[in-house]
Structure 1
Amino acid sequence: GPAAGSGLGSIQPAALGQRAPEGRSGSASASTAAPAPGSDTYKGWLFKWTNYLKGYQRRWFVLSNGLLSYYRTQAEMAHTCRGTINLATAHIDTEDACNIVLSSGGRTYHLKASTEVERQRWVTALELAKAKAIRMMNDQSDEEPTSQSDRSEIQGTLKILVSKLDDLSTCNDLIAKHGAALQRSLSELEGLKVPLEGGEKIKAVNERATLFRITSNAMINACRDFLDLAETHCRRLQRALQYEREQRTHLEETIEQLAKQHNSLERAWREAFNLTAGSERVNKEDASDEDEDTEYFDFIELKLFSPPNLWFHSFCFTKSQMSPSCNDVSGKELLPRRQRRTHIPDKPNYSLNLWSIMKNCIGKELSKIPMPVNFNEPLSMLQRLTEDLEYHELLDKAARCESSLEQMCLVAAFSVSSYSTTVHRTAKPFNPLLGETYELDRLEEFGYRSLCEQVIVYPQKAFVYTFSNVPGWTLWQEITIASKFRGKYLSIMPLGAIHLQFHSSGNHYVWRKVTSTVHNIIVGKLWIDQSGDIEIVNNRTKETCQLKFSPYSYFSRDVPRKVTGVVADSGGQAHYILSGTWDDKMESAKIIQSSRGGSGSEGKQKTVYQTLSPKLLWKKYPLPENAENMYHFSALALTLNEPEDGVALTDSRLRPDQRLMEEGRWDEANSEKQRLEEKQRAARRRREAEATDALDEGADYERYQPLWFHQRRDSVTGETNFVYRGGYWESKEREDWTMCPDIF
């Protein structure tokens, strides 16, 4: 069964709601009467999955402004929202005739309608609301108002309205003039001796001409009233806008002053510490801090965030840790490991006024904002995605498991391990160029090969395909990274499903990543938290694993970065309890008995599990020596950008700005980065011009197509996504890259 979902805090109906007491990623829904789809608000009853004990429960759902909120009763709409789903970042799926599955921010909600017709009405309303929410989000991201431009635009609009009103007034005068002449002529006609029937017709025409003059006058008066109203509201809006600008300026000045004070305190503390310890080294460093206006952010580690990464040290399981069916079985002999580099040049000590850049990014999609390499680490997003394979041994071991439930435990540990190095890796990776690729060929050493390609630029979307022939599994994922800077923190929402299939058993697992949050963007030391729920589903056996990433709380007694989970069979019966932290290790404990315990903090009856001793599933590898001066790279990360012969001409290793940054030549790297971005924009303009010319001529125009992947509808999730079309490794063997575009 699914784990329960939750919302945000208490609000009015159809706004953000408070944490749902139902708990995990819910399932839900049966609906009764609801308004017709297409209206701004859509309401009705649905059944929502709450937990293993209560199953589906009837809830009142309200869809409004791109948010789907739910309540226990309609009366609760006035005071308590039980949860809210933002449809702009949600995935909508259908399981059967009556079920709806919503996935958003690592949470999954299972809803059930009473009939197939009701289900279809809700799906239609949700899809329309999602499309509208995405449009609104994009419009907001594109807005960059300035005080002068706003005022000029409003004044310009008013001038146009006044001009049009003058035109209407002129037309009205002409209508009145010609109308009066027409009526005089008609009156003269009425005085003539004409047959009775003709006189009646002339009289009718005269009445219609009078009505026409009255209507035209009314239209002009209405236009004048509209202009007066527009002028009144314009002045009111200008005053409100000016007030908001003043408040924003005041807030910026306050935060800037706070940052300076924070820096002064930190410098004073360092100096006091150095005097006490007799240290001279830091005093020399302080000599560069004389100009507070440009240097006051030098104490902040200027690193943003990038998705999880991993490496591939040999990892040994003891035979007692899992059943005999999971013990290692010797397969094909792999060749000795190639000697790869173990260090890169130390990171230069560059200062940067962070606030001068970030203050203009609040509320924006960061992938659309050019950033200097000072925010980056010398790896691309494609290379960071490949780092998910650091603990690939977990999948090798899982492939040899005869028990699908034990296999699920290892898959769950693998999904958690992908976050292990994000504790320190807070720097932003390079945004890939359209058509950029990255290969990780470890076939001879570890039996797998991985290929990534950037398939779409806006939104940033990449596809990763990994194949292992020893002992046999395939991993693929289509990832879109959506990020928003909120002033104090940065939210990163990876969208897209991850698929894993084992060749021998045919077990096919699907899950999605949780939301990552980078805190202390402006003041203090950056740190990252992972929060949300992951639901892993074995689509062959319908077994599930519900993982919960607990958000950090200063007042919580729990271990920081805590992860808990339950592995259940297709009937919802729990078999394993998972526990650990996403930055250190994961353990599994087999359930031998379960019973109902006392009430929990929310008055709900808890289930108490009796388990065997926990077994270690995964343990994080220590970072290499001197990692703090090498961007906190893991052993795998140190090798990812190592030059290799024979790779495609679009491979990230050949990207010049990234290579210059790795070598410590940051000024040259920034210049090269600007050149590459302008080259990419010019290519996009050429494609748009070609498309426009083709449409004007009535000819067909084929949109940009990735080189190694093509789109296809997924039979499991129902989504249209990219799949590997083949041919890359064959081209590498032939040393033929003539088909590659010139992107660098």
Structure 2
Amino acid sequence: MDDAEVSDLDHFKSASESSDEENSSLSPSDRLLTAARNGDKETIKDLTAKHKQGEITLDLNCKGNQKFNKGWTSLHLAAYFGHTEVVKILLENGAGIDFTNPNGDTALHKAAYTGRLDVVRVLLDSGADVTLLNSEGQTPRLCSKTKEISELIVAAEDHDNKEREDQFLSSIRDGKVDHVQELLKKKEKRPNLNCRDAFGNSALHIAAQANQKEIAVLLIQSGLCPDVKNRKEQTPIEFARNNEMKQILGVRPVKEFTLHPHRCEGILLKKSRFLGFKPVFVVLERGVLSYFRNRGDASTGTRRKGMRYLDGTTILLPKKSENNNSEFVLKYSDDIQHTFSTGEGDQEIERQKWLNALKDHINYSTHYMHQGVTQSDDEEVLPLGSLQDTLKTAQALQKLLEKETAGLSITGSTPHPVSSQVVIQQTQKISQMAREMCITFSQCLTLFQQQDEVRALQLKEEMEKSRVLQEALHALATEHHELEQSIAVRKPSTQRYYDTDEDEFYDCDEENLVNNEEFPVHGSFKEDVECMSYKSIQWESPNQSSQSVVEKSKYGRTKLPVPMFDRNDFSVWTILKQCIGKELSKITMPVVFNEPISFLQRITEYMEYSELLENACLCSDPVDRLKYISAFAASAISSNFERLGKPFNPLLGETFEFNRPDLGFKVISEQVSHHPPISAFHVESPNYKFHGSIHPKLKFWGKSVEVNPKGVLTLELPKYGETYTWSNVNCCVHNVIVGKLWVEHYGVQEILNHKTKHKAVLNYKQGGWFGKDLHKVEGYIYNPEKKKVKALYGSWAKELYALNPEDYEDFMKELNSGTSPSHHAKPINGASGGGDGLDDIHGKSPSSYDLQIPGQEVLWAGIPRPDYSQEYFSFTLFSMALNEITEENASQIPPTDSRLRPDIRLLEQGQIDLASAEKNRVEEKQRAARKERRKNKEEWSPLWFTYGINPSTGKEDWLFKGEYWKKDWHKCPDIF
């Protein structure tokens, strides 16, 4: 009850203290309300007596129409003000106990709210409903202000539940089929189907014991498991009296009907970062948690403040103390956490009820989000009971019935007299067989119906998935077409997207792939592949010639065996439009969209500019060390510029070694997990150690695919006792449906020196309209006092500069007074920032952000790619050499090395059909190995890395064991 309501009642208290003459002028209803409020039991007795004698007309459930009692009955007023005797008189004379006021409160709500213990007892003894919710979604127990009243109402709730359960079990025992059906159909006050009697027997035990076959069928169809055991470890089938009941209990419920959790709603306190705990109305329904401002919004579904799918959610409970018995934390599958509290009252009991409901909805959501990952569709569709066994039983009974019927016919036609007793016995036997056969065929029909219902439900779900995705993709394609029709001026359009909830970007998942093939290639797509040419494409040469660089490379070979095929005839749209209704993580992409390199080798490209780390080790100033390390972090992703191919996803246990003493380091990486896909790496050098793990997460935004490379990278400089950590920023591939594909990186990257507390913060800018800030990086190095000590700027695709922050900011202020700094970018190939918009601005070479400020220092300048690079998947010279097998390394690498992977090797050689076949073969081999491990209950354990605590950061990570360089390969698995 709110403060305004209390104020009105206090006003009513003073206003109602009037003379008898004034009261006598009131109507009987108003006199009743006044007497109930004042506790005037004599007046109420007089009014009820006159009403019984017919002298007056009186409605005991009449509601006040004054401002201070509007919508309140006499029982509300008496309960609120604690007049126990008046409450008894009203109830004895037939007053409605569960009438509600405009706020949805009953008399029990009011008595609990004001702490009227005696009144609460009277109302509970009279059968008040303890489950009714008011407009704020609160039961009388939640309104209670005292622990004693709360415990009393809880006891009443438990008593009601026990009474319903006893009534339910009694109806089963007595064979009241209609009553059991009625109880099972109830949405509210439905008995707990898993309830037990005093001996631990379930409802199915009792039905079997009482030989109630029809009720047993009802219970099984409602989801009760026939394998449930009582206290003596007995199942219901052991209570069956005859074969008919045993056959019924042999049927299993369909899984689809056993996982629907009940809707749960109510008020919880949700913790925000700045405002602390605030009340929200929470609704749990079908594995989804939603929260609203109030019950009204929840009932209409409008103005929802937030929602979360609960698949993969973990419930965390703080350590017990006097202050946090009501709190719990939900950690969702994306690692976001929300803290809730049940507030005041009986905290532990209320929290436990929410925890029970949350567990049911988490299991429900997890089941349906991941169904099909570990089981095939056929296993999901078939009922748990064996339809084939039931049919065999029915057929056997039919043959016996035919045999007995034929025997009876022969007996009737024989010339010798047959006693009537024999005929009666045969007839009874035939009748019994006929009944058993009818029951068995009825069971068959039930199983067929269940299977049809599951198939219909699955079809409905698939059609809905298909509809949503078709509409989203159609809208995006239409939007893109309209943008292409515009000439020069383009207005930003509303972004429409379809979120796949961060599906993992890997293509060798579980068994449920599309026909266990690489991809169903049909129609024109297949023809396009067959007529694909390996022509050499003439690209525009950059202004800076790199021919001299190509003639001799310190990394190794300078070209792949053959130029790549022409991708102009292909689009990811060709694949996506065939994937409507399917999960992206379960679609194997055709090999034509790959580049001949493994993701492990792609990680090794971080080390292309390893000399930056050597330069950092030579600096005595921590700021100077950090600026070179920042340049290294930016240079690590420079090879992604114009790289439009998807690297091959490593197989579980796949490794890659890159041992180059001449370059000053050696690298080992391993695929340590497949679901989720995680790649771990370790770099050793005389001057540093660099290690980490990458877990790529994917989002499909309609026109683009965003990859978030989750994982922390750690750099150790033993000479200075320093540890640096950072994470890579997001990568986005644009125009995956139509148009030219292009890549950009964006996000904020923080590089922290854990010893000195210096940190660098780099902002990778998103490209604006007409190419503004495309590929741009800028940021600062901060000292432990958070003061800027160095400015960093440049392009992640080309170079990075350092300058004093004061000089940089002064220059930018002067520049911004005229034109944008991005307009001063100097493209190497002469591409300008104008034209037809961002989609056409990504040039063959990155733009330079050399501001030519006096005093600026070049930290890193990228090595120009050869002019034929785009003929070879836009590889850098470093990338070209990664998959090369030489006489020197062939004898040193293990059999799991990526260079020995046949599908990558065949794609590199231009043999697409063979590469596709090999890709499918090695993935099938991996699935077979996973099935065998599951069958033998074996767990996969990486050979060269272990999951533990990173001593440098104190956080969990994949750490190098140090055994790899012993070159002992006898434990290596056969994965290729």
TM-score range, shorter chain: 0.5 to 0.7
Contact 1:362/1:485, CA 8 A, preserved across alignment: no
The equivalent residue for 1:269 is none
Please, which of 773, 779, 790 is the counterpart of residue 559 of structure 1? 773
The equivalent residue for 1:619 is 861
The equivalent residue for 2:635 is 417
Residues in 1 aligned to 2:289 and 2:594: alpha-carbon distance in whole angstroms: 36
Residues in 2 aligned to 1:254 and 1:520: alpha-carbon distance in whole angstroms: 14
Please, which of 458, 474, 495 is the counterpart of residue 689 of structure 2? 474
Residues in 2 aligned to 1:64 and 1:409: alpha-carbon distance in whole angstroms: 50
The equivalent residue for 1:97 is none
Structure 2: which amino acid aligns with 1:341?
Answer: R
Deviations 1:696-734 (A, max 9, x none): xxxxx6x22111111212245443222111122221xxx
Q: Where in structure 2 are the equivalents of 1:578-597 lying within 5 Å?
A: 578-592=792-806
Compute the displacement of 1:680 (Å). Answer: 0.7
Residues in 1 aligned to 2:481 and 2:627: alpha-carbon distance in whole angstroms: 49
2:679 aligned with 1:462: yes
Compute the displacement of 1:440 (Å). Answer: 0.7
Contact 1:367/1:431, CA 8 A, preserved across alignment: no
Structure 2: which amino acid aligns with 1:532?
Answer: G
The equivalent residue for 2:734 is 519
2:880 aligned with 1:638: yes
Compared with structure 1, are the counterparts of its residues 550 and 295 closer, same or farther at alpha carbon in structure 2 (3 Å cutoff)?
Answer: farther
The equivalent residue for 1:397 is 615
Contact 2:311/2:333, CA 8 A, preserved across alignment: no
Residues in 1 aligned to 2:533 and 2:733: alpha-carbon distance in whole angstroms: 12
Compared with structure 1, are the counterparts of its residues 251 and 479 closer, same or farther at alpha carbon in structure 2 (3 Å cutoff)?
Answer: closer
The equivalent residue for 2:974 is 742
2:558 aligned with 1:342: yes
Contact 1:439/1:452, CA 8 A, preserved across alignment: yes
2:764 aligned with 1:542: no
Higher relative contact order (CA 8 A, sep 6+): 1
The equivalent residue for 2:57 is none
Residues in 1 aligned to 2:266 and 2:766: alpha-carbon distance in whole angstroms: 33
Q: Where in structure 2 are the equivalents of 1:91-240 lying within 5 Å?
A: 140=369
Contact 1:708/1:724, CA 8 A, preserved across alignment: yes
Q: Which runs of 5 or more residues in structure 1 are unaligned?
A: 1-37, 49-56, 71-76, 95-101, 112-124, 164-230, 265-290, 303-313, 315-335, 602-610, 692-700
Higher radius of gyration, 1 or 2: 2
Contact 2:679/2:695, CA 8 A, preserved across alignment: yes
Residues in 2 aligned to 1:656 and 1:538: alpha-carbon distance in whole angstroms: 42
2:956 aligned with 1:720: yes
The equivalent residue for 1:439 is 657
Structure 2: which amino acid aligns with 1:447?
Answer: G
Deviations 1:212-254 (A, max 9, x none): xxxxxxxxxxxxxxxxxxx999999988985774565566678
Q: Where in structure 2 are the equivalents of 1:583-732 lying within 5 Å?
A: 583-592=797-806, 613-643=855-885, 644-645=889-890, 646-691=892-937, 703-731=939-967
1:640 partner SS: coil
Compared with structure 1, are the counterparts of its residues 67 and 559 closer, same or farther at alpha carbon in structure 2 (3 Å cutoff)?
Answer: farther
Please, which of 597, 612, 625 is the counterpart of residue 379 of structure 1? 597
Compared with structure 1, are the counterparts of its residues 622 and 661 closer, same or farther at alpha carbon in structure 2 (3 Å cutoff)?
Answer: same
Residues in 1 aligned to 2:279 and 2:660: alpha-carbon distance in whole angstroms: 50
Compute the displacement of 1:473 (Å). Answer: 0.7
Structure 2: which amino acid aligns with 1:422?
Answer: N
Compared with structure 1, are the counterparts of its residues 341 and 544 closer, same or farther at alpha carbon in structure 2 (3 Å cutoff)?
Answer: same
Contact 1:342/1:639, CA 8 A, preserved across alignment: yes
Compute the displacement of 1:553 (Å). Answer: 2.5
- The CA RMSD measured in Å over matched residues stands at 5.8
Residues in 2 aligned to 1:580 and 1:743: alpha-carbon distance in whole angstroms: 43
2:705 aligned with 1:510: no
Residues in 1 aligned to 2:277 and 2:313: alpha-carbon distance in whole angstroms: 22
Residues in 1 aligned to 2:707 and 2:689: alpha-carbon distance in whole angstroms: 26
Deviations 1:30-73 (A, max 9, x none): xxxxxxxx99997555556xxxxxxxx98989999999999xxx
Contact 1:511/1:534, CA 8 A, preserved across alignment: yes
Structure 2: which amino acid aligns with 1:530?
Answer: H
Compute the displacement of 1:499 (Å). Answer: 0.2
Contact 1:297/1:353, CA 8 A, preserved across alignment: no
Contact 2:311/2:365, CA 8 A, preserved across alignment: no
The equivalent residue for 1:498 is 713
Structure 2: which amino acid aligns with 1:574?
Answer: K
Contact 1:106/1:532, CA 8 A, preserved across alignment: no
Residues in 1 aligned to 2:361 and 2:632: alpha-carbon distance in whole angstroms: 36
2:640 partner SS: coil
Compared with structure 1, are the counterparts of its residues 670 and 337 closer, same or farther at alpha carbon in structure 2 (3 Å cutoff)?
Answer: closer
Compared with structure 1, are the counterparts of its residues 64 and 710 closer, same or farther at alpha carbon in structure 2 (3 Å cutoff)?
Answer: farther
1:432 partner SS: coil
Residues in 1 aligned to 2:525 and 2:742: alpha-carbon distance in whole angstroms: 25
Residues in 1 aligned to 2:970 and 2:460: alpha-carbon distance in whole angstroms: 60
The equivalent residue for 1:359 is 577
Contact 1:441/1:448, CA 8 A, preserved across alignment: yes
Compute the displacement of 1:446 (Å). Answer: 1.5
Structure 2: which amino acid aligns with 1:343?
Answer: K
Residues in 1 aligned to 2:528 and 2:271: alpha-carbon distance in whole angstroms: 55
Please, which of 748, 758, 781 is the counterpart of residue 533 of structure 1? 748
Compared with structure 1, are the counterparts of its residues 463 and 682 closer, same or farther at alpha carbon in structure 2 (3 Å cutoff)?
Answer: same
Contact 2:596/2:648, CA 8 A, preserved across alignment: yes
Residues in 2 aligned to 1:403 and 1:414: alpha-carbon distance in whole angstroms: 17
Compared with structure 1, are the counterparts of its residues 572 and 617 closer, same or farther at alpha carbon in structure 2 (3 Å cutoff)?
Answer: same
Contact 1:450/1:466, CA 8 A, preserved across alignment: yes
Compute the displacement of 1:510 (Å). Answer: 0.7
Residues in 2 aligned to 1:411 and 1:545: alpha-carbon distance in whole angstroms: 9
Compared with structure 1, are the counterparts of its residues 565 and 381 closer, same or farther at alpha carbon in structure 2 (3 Å cutoff)?
Answer: same
Residues in 1 aligned to 2:641 and 2:332: alpha-carbon distance in whole angstroms: 23
Deviations 1:416-445 (A, max 9, x none): 1122122211111111111111011111x1
Residues in 2 aligned to 1:534 and 1:134: alpha-carbon distance in whole angstroms: 36
Residues in 1 aligned to 2:364 and 2:741: alpha-carbon distance in whole angstroms: 32
TM-score, normalized by length of structure 2? Answer: 0.44
Residues in 2 aligned to 1:651 and 1:141: alpha-carbon distance in whole angstroms: 32
Instruction: Return 568-577 or 234-243, whichever deviates more.
Output: 234-243
Compared with structure 1, are the counterparts of its residues 480 and 88 closer, same or farther at alpha carbon in structure 2 (3 Å cutoff)?
Answer: farther
Contact 2:462/2:581, CA 8 A, preserved across alignment: no
Give aligned-pair identity as a percent. 30
Compute the displacement of 1:377 (Å). Answer: 0.5
Residues in 2 aligned to 1:548 and 1:88: alpha-carbon distance in whole angstroms: 32
Residues in 2 aligned to 1:80 and 1:260: alpha-carbon distance in whole angstroms: 34
Residues in 1 aligned to 2:531 and 2:806: alpha-carbon distance in whole angstroms: 52
Residues in 1 aligned to 2:749 and 2:531: alpha-carbon distance in whole angstroms: 36
2:639 partner SS: coil
Compute the displacement of 1:482 (Å). Answer: 1.7
Compute the displacement of 1:520 (Å). Answer: 0.7
More strand by share: 1
2:769 partner SS: coil
Deviations 1:654-693 (A, max 9, x none): 11111111011111111111111111111111111111xx
Compute the displacement of 1:292 (Å). Answer: 6.5
1:516 partner SS: strand
Structure 1: which amino acid aligns with 2:682?
Answer: Y
